[in-house]
Amino acid sequence: MTQIESQIRYVTNAQGETTDVLIPIELWQQLVSSVNSDSISGLAWIDEQEPKAQILADLQESVRQAAAGETFPVSELWDDIAG
């Protein structure tokens, strides 16, 4: 923790009040990654918060599409994730 604290810089206003924090981008990326994923499941926070009814509906739609022969190239699926 001391090593992290030594990398943080504080911004103050004219009254000497701390208004912002500056941190190195690598530290920021680590923080965002740890906040956005669950340490047990490995899922992103948004996935952990998705209603179970929506998860079930998505799964049912996927099964329906597969049964109807509606498949997608893997590259298209990756484009959706990355885009």
Assess whether pLDDT exceeds 90 at residue 46. Answer: no
Tokens 């990355």 — which residue? 82
Indicate if 4 and 23 belong to the same structural domain.
yes
Average pLDDT, whole number, for the chain?
A: 79
Helices (H), the chain: 2-7, 25-36, 45-49, 52-67, 74-82
Please give the Cα distance from 49 to 42 (Å, whole number).
13
Residue linked to tokens 């799964």: 59
Same domain? 55 vs 81: yes
**Both tokens of residue 20?**
């912002």
Q: Are residues 6 and 35 in the same domain?
A: yes
Which letter does DSSP use for residue 44 in this model?
A: B
For residue 73, give its domain range: 50-83
Domains of the chain: total: 2
Residue 45 located in a structural domain: no
- Residues 17-43: pLDDT tens digits? 999 999 999 888 877 776 666 666 666
51-71 pLDDT tens trace: 888 888 888 988 888 888 887
